[in-house]
Structure 1
Amino acid sequence: MDIQAEKLNLIKWLAEVDEPAVIESFLELKSKQQEDWWDQITDEEKAEIEEGLAQADRGETVPHEEVMRKYDKWRTK
């Protein structure tokens, strides 16, 4: 897929759209795209993420295979 060509096609199509709901949908999408997910989460969630990163920096991690073995009984086959 040529992304530049696709963008141009969208621009051409959007230039001819007369339906306000379609334009409103694009404006909503644009505003959501500019939002950073970090700004949308709670301070508690941020603290938990930062603690997890600090644990990883200290080498306090569990290998993926070990986690999968521990929770294998709940995994779908």
Structure 2
Amino acid sequence: MNLLQAIINTDDEGLIMDVKALLFNRKTDWFDELSAEQQQDVMEGIAEADRGETVPHAEVVKLFGKWGLK
């Protein structure tokens, strides 16, 4: 008997609720939706931050302010 038929024929309400929860409450992690290249870029950024290689927000705002960007 295949899986779908087993689910259709079951009287086990708990199983039905578990299957429903699995199908409708499943959330995908946004990271998994990224391409391999994008995932690598994110991981590289995290590694840089872990090493303290960051620029304070105030400095970035100041830099972009030169071009009228906020």
The TM-score bracket by the shorter chain reads 0.5 to 0.7
Structure 1 equivalent of residue 49 of structure 2: 56
Structure in which a larger fraction of residues adopt helix = 1
Counterpart residue identity of residue 59, structure 2:
E
Aligned length: 46
* Structure 1: gaps (5+ residues): 1-29
Structure possessing the higher relative contact order (Cα contacts under 8 Å, 6 or more residues apart): 2
Q: Which of 16, 28, 39 lines up with 1:46 in the alignment?
A: 39
The correspondence of residues 5-16 of structure 1 with structure 2, limited to 5 A, is none
Computing the radius of gyration over CA atoms, which structure comes out larger, 1 or 2?
Answer: 2
**Identity, % of aligned pairs?**
39
CA RMSD of aligned residues (A): 1.8
Aligned counterparts of 1:74 and 1:46: Cα–Cα separation in 2: 31
* Structure 2: gaps (5+ residues): 1-23
